[in-house]
Every structure is written in C-alpha cells, then in structure tokens.
Amino acid sequence: MNSGVNSSSAIILVTLLIKLGLIASLASIIARFDKFRRLLLVEVREPKQKLLFAAFLGVPFMLGVLTRLVVHYQGADLSLEVTVLGGLLGGTMVGLVVGMFVSLPAVLIKHEILAVPMAVLYAVVAGSARWLCPNKEEIWKFSPFIDLSLYRSIKQRFKQPSMDWQILFFLVCVVLEMSRIGVGRMSNGLLFYLNPPRVWTELLILMTTAIAIALPLRIWNNTRIERKLEEKERMLIQARMDSLISQINPHFLFNTLNTVSSLIRLDPDTARKVLVKLSNILRRRLKTQTHFVALRQELDFIADYLDIEVVRFGQDKLRVHEEIDPAALDVIVPSMILQPMVENAIRHGLGPKIEGGTITLRASRYNGRVKIEVDDDGVGIPEERLPEIFASGIGIMNVRERLKVLYGNDFSMKVDSEPGKGTMIRFDFPEVVPAEETLPVESAQTQT
C-alpha cells in the first residue's frame, strides 16, 4: 500500500493551498496563548520550557496527522514543517520531541514505520542549522523568497563575504522535502508524502514547504515584536515611576531632617524619637519596593509619618481624623500617594495657623473606582493661585504626574480651597484588584 498521494496536478495544487491556510491558522491560534508568547521571547530555554514549547507545537499538528489518517485528508499533515520549526526555534531536542508527537500516530495507525527516523532526520538537520547560526534573529527573518536572498548574498559578497543564512534555511527546507519524496517513492507505503506527477508540481511542493515553514515564523515574530514593545513600554513606565518616586523620597527625607535639626539642640530627647520614627519609615520603604500597595499599608505609612509631625507640632495642634470605607482598605493604590498631600496640608495649610488644625482622610469605593480625599481646615489657598497649583509644588505635581503615567486620562484630581477655611484635594482612579491577588511577594517581605 503506497502512502504517497499520486494525484492530478489540480488536486495537489488545492492540497498545497489548504496546507498553507491550515498552518497559518494553527500558528495564529497557538500565538493566542500567553505562555507560548512568553516562550517566544526566551532563546535559551530550560528543559521544562523546552518540553512545554514542544507540546505547544506537537499536540495541535498531531491532530492534523490524525485527520489525514482517519479521514484521508492529506492537506492536514504538516509533520515535516512543524518538526523543522521545532528544530529551528528550539534546537534539536525540541525538534525530536515535536517529531515524535507527529510521527507516532502514523506508525501506530498506518504502520508508516519510516515516519520516526525521518522525523529524527528533520529535527537533527533543523537543530544543527540553528546551532550553526550565530545570530538567532536570522531565523525569525527567514523568507521563502529565494530571489531576494540571492540578490542580498551577491551584493554582500562584494562588500564583506559572509554566509547568507536565509539561503541556508531555504535549502534545509527544500532538501528535507526532496528527501521525503525520494524515500517515500522507495518505501512502498512506509512513509507519507505527496507524489508529484510532473516536475513543476514537485517544484510547487518544495516551494510550499518553505512557505509553510516561513509563515508561522512571521506570525510568531510579529507576536514576539509586540511582546517586546509591551515590555519596553512597561520598562519605560517603570523608569518614569522610579524617577518620580526618587523625587518624593529625598523631599520627604529633607523636610524630616530639617525638623530633627531644629529640635536637636532645644529638645534632644524629642529629636531622638523623631529619628527612631524616621528609621522605622525608611525600613518599611526598603521592605516594600513596589509602586503599588494596599490602601491599608499606605495608611499605616501615613500613621508613621504623622507620628513625626505630631512630635514637631504637638498633639494639641495637629489632629487627624479618618473616614475610611472598610471595603476600600484592600484596594490597590499607588504607593507614596498620600504622604505628599498630607505633607502639603501640614506645611502650607496648618503650619501658618497658631492654633493648628485637623486633617481628615477619606477613602471609598464606587462603581469600580477609588476616591480619596485629603481635607484640612488650614489657611486655604488664594483664588488667584489655584490655577497654577499643579505647577508650583513638588508634592502635588509629582502625584498628578504619577497618576497620569499609571492611568493615562482615566483619573481625576481636583483642588478645592477657600481662604481661611481650608483646602481639599480629591482624586479618583480605577480600582485594580484586591491586594491578596497582586501583592503576595510584598506581603511576604513585609512580614519578615
């Protein structure tokens, strides 16, 4: 029984078109899995990652081989193409595992015993091509358009002689397909292959094999580039956040040390207490190196900070009142978002008042958003200064910029003030997720 499909040229042409459509569809479906997209970014994979990568390639295409065996639909068999892909992208070991996935059904159901040794050949050749290629990015650039590769190769030869890896990968695809056709014709049914009736159909088969290998590479490379751009954008946001927070920490530290310096001669014991409080705050900050914390933790940090300010102002002159919705305590908020607001309220609102005053902190949840208010009954802000308030101080300008980096335009920040009666700063932003789902590492660090 001959497993080669000796059909008319028209049937072979339709089969080849179906193969290209099927491999493009499967490649697009596989690229939807987040774990697979992460694996694409890793060039040197650990053994577990190699097995997972091979499973992502082998399982879907094994179903295609089963389709060919059960319903005799030859266009679904992409065993050579996916084995070469596994070798090129993951190395010989990945290629071998993928080859076993797609060849064993043919051996067990149709007794095509040459499928396994041929799969080993595909994997070894493709894996060797990957190993020889010094720049793995060349694999992702593979294109079946050999005319362009030849033009680049000839042009490069006159400038700087070097290997054109695109031609090498093309030759790998063509030689392996020719080997399958040659072995298949001599095997008398022990290996599946498309048996071309004419020379031009054989050329079409060879070209289709190269295209079928290049298509997933292009699809997955686009996914890979998108993932890299997302990662670079995330790193850019991270860098901006680090820069903004680095402005807050020295500002806070400078003001606190000024307080200590003013107390150290007049009241050394009080200065010592303030330094102890400051060391507790800095230790807490070192344990929680993150841009987001639960509101509960942010309020704990504010409590430590206010302990320092109460020492400076006295309990009779600085009073703090909290109106916190219990449901909002575990909501995720940007870290160090309250401290600059509270510091402004103390220094510019209550500081000029001889009798001091009260700071009220409010927080609530509504319609998937978080609303936070910092209210003081201090001296207020003159009406003519309100329009320029976001550009005149480090604290409020910093918080607004951080909210803009994190939430884009999906936040609001307002300052309402009346001279002689006080100032309220109100901002709201989207609710993220409960703290226990996003901060397991930080929670563990905080407990140490």
Mean pLDDT of 152-164: 52
pLDDT of residue 123: 95
**Do 443 and 343 have their domain in common?**
yes
- Domain termination site, one of 207, 231, 255: 231
Query: Are residue 93 and residue 208 in the same domain, yes or no?
Result: yes
pLDDT above 80 for 33: yes
> Which residue bears the tokens 């001669």?
265
The answer on 302 and 348 residing in a single domain is yes
440 and 326 in a common domain = yes
Q: Quick check: is 251 in a domain?
A: no
Residue 238 covered by a domain: no
The pair of three-digit structure tokens given for residue 91, joined into one six-digit string: 């190395």
Q: Is residue 257 part of a domain?
A: no
**222 and 278, same domain (yes or no):** no
- Asked, for residue 316, whether it belongs to a domain, the answer is yes
pLDDT band at 436; cut points 50, 70, 90: very low
The answer on 92 and 20 residing in a single domain is yes
Strands (DSSP E) contained in 124-198 are: 193-195
CA-to-CA distance for 39 and 28, rounded, in angstroms?
A: 15
Are 193 and 338 part of one and the same domain? no
Confidence of residue 235 (pLDDT cuts 50, 70, 90): low
d(CA 168, CA 153): 11
Residues 264-315 pLDDT 10s: 877 788 888 888 878 877 776 665 556 788 888 888 888 878 887 777 676 7
Please give the single-letter amino acid code of residue 430: P
**Residues 186, 47: one domain?**
yes
For the stretch 355-365, pLDDT in tens is 888 899 999 98
| 62 backbone dihedrals φ, ψ, rounded to 5° | -65, -35
Both 295 and 207 in one domain: the answer is no
Q: Which of 241-250, 262-271, 354-363, 403-412 has the lowest mean pLDDT?
A: 241-250
Q: What are phi and psi of 359, to 5 degrees?
A: -110, 130
**In-domain check, residue 248:** no
CB 86 within 8 A of CB 97: yes
The pLDDT, as a whole number, for residue 241 is: 53
pLDDT at 119: 95
Residue 163 has pLDDT above 60, yes or no: no
Whether residues 361 and 225 fall in one domain:
no
Q: Does a structural domain hold residue 239?
A: no
Q: Is the pLDDT of residue 439 over 60?
A: no
Same domain, 33 and 98: yes
DSSP annotation string for 338-350: SHHHHHHIIIIII
Model pLDDT, residue 155: 52
How many domains, the chain? 2
Q: What is the mean pLDDT of residues 108-136?
A: 93
Q: Residue 435 pLDDT > 80, yes or no? A: no
- On whether both 72 and 130 belong to a single domain, the answer is yes
Buried b (16+ CB within 10 A) or exposed e, 235-246: eeeeeebeebbe
Which residue range forms the structural domain that includes residue 187?
A: 4-231
Domain closes at, from 209, 231, 253: 231
Could you give the CA distance from residue 362 to residue 90 in angstroms, rounded to a whole number?
A: 54
Q: Residues 210, 145: contact at Cβ < 8 Å?
A: no
Task: State the DSSP string of 345-393.
Answer: IIIIIITT-TT-EEEEEEEEEETTEEEEEEEE-SS---GGGGGGHHHH-
Q: Identify the CATH number of the domain in which residue 331 sits.
A: 3.30.565.10
Report percent pLDDT > 90 for the chain.
35
For residues 3-25, give the mean pLDDT: 81
Distance CA 385, CA 391 (A): 10
Strand order in the sheet with 369-376: 318-324, 357-366, 369-376, 422-430, 412-418
Quote the pLDDT of residue 236: 64
- Is 79 domain-assigned? yes
